[in-house]
């Protein structure tokens, strides 16, 4: 037997411990959550992606009466960034969410499907995308998406053996 151990370190920071650029990204994600279309869940999520060219792309969750047609904020935002700037690597993404009680106290946790999409973008450009998960009690900062989805399925596996 050969145990495999993965250790992941994230930082839980107060808002005022963030850099000015991180604060800007978190603020943009929070603002964007206010434009979400979430009449069914009333769970409003916003995201903001910072690109290497200095551009910022924002998005939010878009729900539909035919619920599988809905899309999370992270995918709306990252797909939009990839569509607008197909040759520019993202360097960070911030995510924030509020419900009827206000912004979540604990950092929002992206779903598995969104992690998969963020992971492929990270692999595509070959550089880490910092992930900032906003909560009113602290912002959880991951160095890269791979830390949120270790052992991810990737195109490398599709090509395996070819
Ligand atoms: N949602 C997101 O947009 N991002 C997340 O990280 C978690 C969940 C959305 C999907 C759905 O519109 C609503 O929040 C409730 O699940």
Q: What is the pTM of this model?
A: 0.96
Distance between Cα 2 and ligand 1 center (Å) = 37
Using most ligand atoms within 8 A of CB, pick from 35, 39, 42, 43 the residue to mutate for ligand 1: 43
- Hey, which residues are catalytic here? 74
H-assigned helices in 85-132: 112-125
Distance between Cα 61 and ligand 1 center (Å) = 6
d(CA 15, CA 32) in angstroms, rounded, equals 18
* pLDDT one-digit tens code per residue, 45-67: 999 999 999 999 999 999 999 99
The proportion of the chain whose per-residue pLDDT surpasses 70, expressed as a percent, equals 98
Q: What average pLDDT is seen over the chain? A: 97
Task: Quickly state the pLDDT bin for 44 (edges 50, 70, 90).
Answer: very high
Does position 11 have pLDDT exceeding 80, yes or no? yes
d(CA 23, CA 15) in angstroms, rounded, equals 7
Task: Quickly state the pLDDT bin for 161 (edges 50, 70, 90).
Answer: low
Contact 74, 134 (CB under 8 A): no
53 within ligand 1 shell (Cβ under 6 A): no
Confidence (pLDDT) at 162: 67
Where would I find the beta strands (DSSP E) of 14-142? Answer: 44-51, 56-60, 90-99, 102-103, 130-135, 138-142
* pLDDT one-digit tens code per residue, 98-143: 999 999 999 999 999 999 999 999 999 999 999 999 999 999 999 9
> CB neighbours of 143 closer than 8 A, spacing ≥ 6?
9, 10, 128, 130
| Atom 4 of ligand 1, nearest CA residue | 72
Tokens standing for residue 25: 């990204």
d(CA 95, CA 98) in angstroms, rounded, equals 11
| Secondary structure (3-state) at 25 | helix
d(CA 71, CA 77) in angstroms, rounded, equals 10
Q: Which residues pair with 59 in a beta bridge?
A: 47
> CB neighbours of 47 closer than 8 A, spacing ≥ 6?
29, 32, 58, 59, 60, 73, 74, 76, 77, 78, 93, 94, 95, 96
| Atom 9 of ligand 1, nearest CA residue | 72
């Amino acid at each position: 037997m050969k145990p495999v151990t993965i250790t992941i370190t994230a930082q839980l920071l107060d808002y005022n411990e963030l850099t000015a650029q991180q604060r800007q990204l978190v603020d943009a994600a929070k603002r964007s959550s206010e434009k979400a279309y979430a009449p069914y869940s009333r769970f409003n999520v916003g995201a903001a992606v910072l690109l290497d060219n200095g551009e910022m792309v924002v998005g939010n969750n878009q729900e539909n009466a035919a619920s599988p047609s809905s899309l999370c904020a992270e995918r709306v935002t990252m797909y939009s960034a990839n569509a607008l700037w197909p040759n520019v690597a993202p360097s960070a993404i911030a995510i924030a969410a509020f419900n009827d009680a206000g912004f979540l106290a604990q950092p929002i946790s992206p779903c598995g499907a969104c992690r998969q999409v963020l992971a492929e973008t990270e692999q595509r450009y070959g550089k880490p995308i910092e992930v900032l998960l906003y909560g009113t009690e602290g912002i959880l900062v991951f160095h890269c998406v791979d830390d949120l989805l270790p052992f991810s399925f990737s195109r490398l596996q599709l090509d395996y053996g070819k």
